[in-house]
């Protein structure tokens, strides 16, 4: 069968044009626009970030000891006496500055520091008795049935002070997905990192304007209710140790980014020192405490790239420390000491934050 020469020529011309079109790769933008394509993962060498964290902070330390059996009738060796130091409303913005560098893809190192100053805080000191399922016959015909950390004396003071923290971590990427794009308007990519780090956090508190708000006459001698004239004491509390965890990051389109981070420190140390200026029998520091517990930290945020390499972010962050055992030592000016135990050390910081970051 014969074909007209014009049809043959046109067919050959179209085949040649198609061959030339396929011989040259399309620009990346065109491939992403007309079909689902994997996009190169974005990376950076340096990331600097500033955050304002509106922290709501509180802490509590409880010390105790068993009383001598001879104190009671009938004798009992399972009755404890102790004190609870309750720090409330240590709230203030904590300004955090962090720097993260990524020498190679999949490995990064970060350092963060922050500090604040607070005022208007409250401190309560409770002196209590604990005797589970027992009846206590006290002085002046007072009888207590199974007291559970029941106060027999109480003080209230105002506080101010400062806080600072340092942390460092090394991140290793263990999973990632590259972004996909269609018609130039949709992309999704996320990464999962594990990390190992070290955290140090310290709070210094000044105690002043104190009042004795509860006094009793049926157990140990307690000072009468009234102002604590001349009170100007200090307390220092520090938490530090190794942490580990994971970080998840996801791109939500071209301009939005989400991040979540969880850290856990199973062997975090606590150290405390108290300087009481009105107790002349105590040395300075007169009370030192130590404990080992666990720390958990969590934060989640969403950021928006508003101009070139700059992003604005907002989120929520929390940190909590717990310990159920430790020791307290009192040092006296005559050189003697007294050993007690800690059965509670709690500290919590939480609140919303917003910030600004820059990547290069």
Number of helical (H) and strand (E) elements in the chain, helices listed first? 2, 16
Q: Label residues 271-283 b or e (16+ Cβ within 10 Å = b).
A: ebbbbbeebeebb
What is the distance between the alpha carbons of residues 235 and 19, in angstroms, rounded to a whole number? 80
What is the CATH code for 37-359?
2.40.128.90
Instruction: Kindly list the domain boundaries of the chain, sorted by start residue.
Output: 37-359
Other CB atoms within 10 Å distance of the CB of residue 35 = 11
Spatial contact of 353 and 52, defined as CB atoms under 8 Å apart: yes
pTM for the whole thing?
A: 0.83
Residue 218 phi, psi (nearest 5): -115, 5
The tokens for 264 are 């856990």
339-342: long-range contacts at Cβ-Cβ below 8 A with a sequence spacing of 24 or more?
340/63, 340/64, 340/65, 340/82, 341/63, 341/64, 341/65, 342/61, 342/62, 342/63, 342/64, 342/289, 342/290, 342/291
User: What is the mean pLDDT of the segment spanning 107-122?
Assistant: 96
User: Considering only CA atoms, which of 283, 282, 295, 287 is closest in space to residue 345?
Assistant: 295
Given this model, what pLDDT does residue 95 score?
96
What is the distance between the alpha carbons of residues 159 and 22, in angstroms, rounded to a whole number? 75
User: Considering only CA atoms, which of 332, 322, 330, 263 is closest in space to residue 291?
Assistant: 322
User: What is the mean pLDDT of the segment spanning 220-234?
Assistant: 93
User: Considering only CA atoms, which of 262, 263, 351, 253 is closest in space to residue 303?
Assistant: 253
Query: What confidence tier does 344 reach under pLDDT thresholds 50, 70, 90?
Result: very high
Spatial contact of 280 and 325, defined as CB atoms under 8 Å apart: no
Given this model, what pLDDT does residue 20 score?
39
Give 355's Cβ-side CA count (13 Å radius): 24
User: Is the confidence at residue 25, as pLDDT, over 60?
Assistant: no
The rounded Cα 276 to chain-centroid distance in angstroms is 28
Range among 181-190, 192-201, 275-284 with highest mean pLDDT value: 192-201
User: What is the mean pLDDT of the segment spanning 4-19?
Assistant: 44
User: Considering only CA atoms, which of 111, 115, 109, 99 is closest in space to residue 53?
Assistant: 115
Query: What confidence tier does 187 reach under pLDDT thresholds 50, 70, 90?
Result: low
pLDDT in tens, 34-91: 344 455 555 678 999 999 999 999 999 999 999 999 888 888 889 999 999 999 999 9
pLDDT in tens, 139-178: 989 999 999 999 999 999 999 999 999 999 999 999 988 7
The three-state secondary structure class of 75 is coil
User: Is the confidence at residue 347, as pLDDT, over 80?
Assistant: yes
Between 37 and 289, residue with greater pLDDT: 289
179-183: long-range contacts at Cβ-Cβ below 8 A with a sequence spacing of 24 or more?
179/38, 179/39, 179/41, 179/251, 180/36, 180/37, 180/38, 180/39, 181/32, 181/33, 181/36, 181/37, 181/39, 182/32, 182/35, 182/36, 183/33, 183/34
User: What is the mean pLDDT of the segment spanning 206-226?
Assistant: 93
- The DSSP letter of residue 70 is G
Range among 97-101, 280-284, 305-309, 333-337 with highest mean pLDDT value: 97-101
Give 86's Cβ-side CA count (13 Å radius): 11
């Amino acid at each position: 069968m014969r074909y007209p020469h014009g049809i043959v020529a046109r067919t050959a011309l179209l085949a040649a044009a198609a061959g030339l079109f396929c011989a040259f790769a399309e620009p990346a933008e065109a491939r992403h626009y007309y079909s689902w394509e994997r996009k190169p993962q974005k990376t950076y060498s340096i990331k600097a970030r500033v955050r304002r964290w509106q922290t709501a902070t509180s802490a509590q330390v409880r010390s105790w000891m068993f009383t001598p059996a001879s104190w009671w009738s009938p004798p009992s060796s399972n009755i404890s006496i102790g004190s609870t130091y309750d720090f409330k409303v240590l709230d203030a913005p904590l300004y955090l500055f962090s720097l993260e560098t990524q020498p190679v893809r999949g490995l990064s190192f970060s350092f963060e520091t922050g500090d604040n100053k607070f005022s208007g805080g409250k401190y309560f000191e409770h002196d209590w008795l604990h005797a589970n399922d027992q009846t206590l016959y006290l002085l002046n015909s007072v009888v207590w049935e199974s007291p559970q950390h029941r106060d027999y004396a109480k003080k209230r003071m105002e506080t101010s002070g400062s806080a600072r923290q340092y942390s460092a971590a090394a991140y290793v990427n263990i999973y990632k997905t590259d972004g996909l794009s269609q018609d130039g308007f949709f992309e999704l990519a996320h990464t999962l990192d594990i990390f190992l780090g070290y955290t140090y956090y310290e709070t210094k508190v000044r105690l002043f304007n104190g009042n004795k708000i509860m006094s009793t006459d049926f157990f140990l001698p307690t000072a009468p209710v009234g102002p604590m004239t001349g009170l100007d004491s200090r307390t220092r509390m520090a938490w530090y140790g190794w942490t580990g965890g994971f970080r998840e990051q996801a791109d939500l389109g071209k301009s939005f980014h989400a991040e979540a981070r969880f850290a856990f420190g199973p062997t975090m140390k606590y150290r405390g020192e108290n300087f009481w200026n009105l107790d002349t029998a105590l040395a300075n520091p007169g009370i030192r405490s130590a404990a080992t517990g666990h720390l958990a930290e969590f934060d989640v945020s969403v950021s928006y790239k508003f101009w070139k390499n700059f992003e604005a972010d907002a989120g929520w962050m929390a940190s909590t420390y717990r310990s159920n055992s430790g020791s307290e030592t009192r040092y006296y000016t005559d050189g003697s000491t007294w050993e007690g135990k800690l059965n509670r050390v709690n500290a919590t910081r939480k609140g919303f934050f917003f910030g600004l970051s820059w990547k290069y």
